[in-house]
Amino acid sequence: SIFRYPNGKWFSWNADVDIAKSPLTDDAWERVYWSGDGAPKMAGIDLATAGAGPYPESSYLLGVPAPDDLLTVVSPSGEAPATAVTAFYSHAYVTDYEEVGPLSLPTAAVTRWDGGGNVDITIPGISATGRNITKVRIFRSESGGEFNFVADVVAGTASFTDNVKSENLLYPAESITWDVPDENLSGLMAGPGGALYGFFDNVVCASEPGYPHAWPVEYRYAFQHDVVAIKECAIGIAVGTTGEPALLIGSTPSSMSPTKIETSEPCSSKRSMVDMGDYVIYASPNGLVGIGSDGVNLMTKNLVSREEWQKINPSSINAYRDREKYLAFYTDTEGNDGCFLFSIEAGFEYVAETATAAFYSSEHDSMYIHTGDSILSKWDEGAGKEITWRSGIFEVQPGTSFSCGKIIADSYPVTLNIIADGVQRASVQVNSMQMFRLPNISHFVREWEAEIVSDHEVFSLQVAGIPQELV
């Protein structure tokens, strides 16, 4: 996988890694988050692009865990006045990025009072590693109420004396239900409501909006089948599984409603699922499937048969969005690498190109591809490549025949192949925009397809029974 960091440095991994930029507006640390390289990780510009590369240079584990050990508290000496209250203490870790983790278990009850009834606290050592913990945040609960902020102390500090008056307690702890993401999290992405989303096993989960390090358990949604891929669409999150696809409909993690779609179109490849804007496309065993506000449909059912599609080996597809087209690289069942573009308007266009990874830069409106020989180049630049385009399948009444055709292109020659009932029956080299004759093909053909092979741009193709039918 490859990723272009905002400062122009390129990140790369020899693994299927999903990368998400910080969902926060004007993130001072320009943080990025990723999954697929072991446990989920994160880094800011200070860490990720330090040194000479390769990048990311270093990282931290994503999320802040709760402390393993409790604070130890000692009640003040002397007789407690009538104003004394029963208090409980807890603490949380804070990173250098001001990420706050969940609270530890509370201490035993202790009696304290303002004006001399101070509580001595012993702070255990930091139990979390690989998280950049720089502070310990201490909270206090009085008379069974919520835990409120008392103070921050530098990580590694062994003790603290709480002399904060009750009236000076600050904001309540908001991180009580926060958690770290599952260590097997995959498919990390920024999604609805300013949150990050990912999945593991049969569960899709989300971070707290505005807090990408915090992953509450209540934002976990389970499905009948294991999740293969997720992407954002117009109405929420599209979920590809090993069984039926599903949707998480909603605009925030707390409002999501899981909905299974009753159609047998399992997701064949995690890397085949692509966010196309309002809808999502992924590869199933039967063809390319679209999910959006209009539901689910097999977009290629009239363009390619299941048998032809299986030869492409859909489980190998690694796809991206190239403007309004679906760009896919694959390795077919015979071990040959290939590439195609798909759009609703143009159907399939096959291109003589291979890539191991790609990245679309919205900043530069450019697709970059990485080939097996470590060359990084812009897609759709440089010398032209040969493309192969095939029409959909046209069913006609037996006895229908085609005798002539016309191809409009910006240059010639162009090769036209005629496929009848799944078998190539003719190949014609077209050298100009003038009408050309087609060889005689049996009148008992029912299914017709046309295939164009060219390294020039082709604008239109016409075939007809008689010349007068051509435009």
* pLDDT score of 232: 94
pLDDT, tens digit (0-9, with 9 covering 90-100), for 9-33: 899 999 999 999 999 988 999 999 9
Spatial contact of 354 and 323, defined as CB atoms under 8 Å apart: no
DSSP-based three-state secondary structure for 364: coil
Domains identified in the chain and CATH numbers: 2-60 (no CATH), 72-168 (no CATH), 186-385 (2.130.10.10), 388-469 (no CATH)
Percent of the chain with pLDDT over 90: 69
Reply yes or no on whether the pLDDT at 373 is more than 90.
no
Q: Specify the amino acid at residue 49.
A: T
d(CA 101, CA 68): 12
* pLDDT score of 379: 79
pLDDT, tens digit (0-9, with 9 covering 90-100), for 380-410: 776 667 788 888 788 888 778 888 999 999 8
d(CA 11, CA 58): 11
What angle is formed at CA 195 by the lines to CA 19 and CA 220, rounded to 5 degrees?
100
* pLDDT score of 179: 96
28 Cβ contact partners less than 8 Å away, ≥ 6 residues apart: none
Percent of the chain with pLDDT over 70: 98
Q: What is the mean pLDDT of residues 121-138?
A: 95
Greatest Cα pair distance, the chain, in angstroms, is 110
DSSP-based three-state secondary structure for 310: helix
Reply yes or no on whether the pLDDT at 104 is more than 90.
yes
Burial class of residue 224 (count of CB atoms within 10 Å of its CB; 0-12, 13-18, 19+): exposed
d(CA 137, CA 155): 9
Spatial contact of 297 and 251, defined as CB atoms under 8 Å apart: no
Q: H/E element holding 312?
A: helix 306-312
* pLDDT score of 374: 66
d(CA 267, CA 198): 16
Reply yes or no on whether the pLDDT at 353 is more than 90.
no
Buried b (16+ CB within 10 A) or exposed e, 356-395: bbbbbeeeeeebbbbbeeeebeebeeeeeeebbbbbebee
* pLDDT score of 471: 84
Q: What is the mean pLDDT of residues 452-466?
A: 89
Residue 7: band (very low, low, confident or very high) from pLDDT cuts 50, 70, 90: confident
Could you identify the residue written with the tokens 């403007």?
323
Q: Specify the amino acid at residue 464.
A: A
* pLDDT score of 389: 86
DSSP letters of 3-45? EE-TTSPEEE-SS--EEEE--STT-TT--EEEESSSS-EEE-H
pLDDT, tens digit (0-9, with 9 covering 90-100), for 214-253: 999 999 999 999 999 999 998 899 999 999 999 999 999 9
Reply yes or no on whether the pLDDT at 69 is more than 80.
yes
Average pLDDT of the chain is: 92
Residue 421: band (very low, low, confident or very high) from pLDDT cuts 50, 70, 90: confident
- CB neighbours (10 Å) of residue 252? 14
Residue 208: band (very low, low, confident or very high) from pLDDT cuts 50, 70, 90: very high
* pLDDT score of 388: 85
pLDDT, tens digit (0-9, with 9 covering 90-100), for 277-319: 889 999 999 999 999 888 899 999 988 889 999 999 999 999 9
Reply yes or no on whether the pLDDT at 163 is more than 80.
yes
* pLDDT score of 443: 64
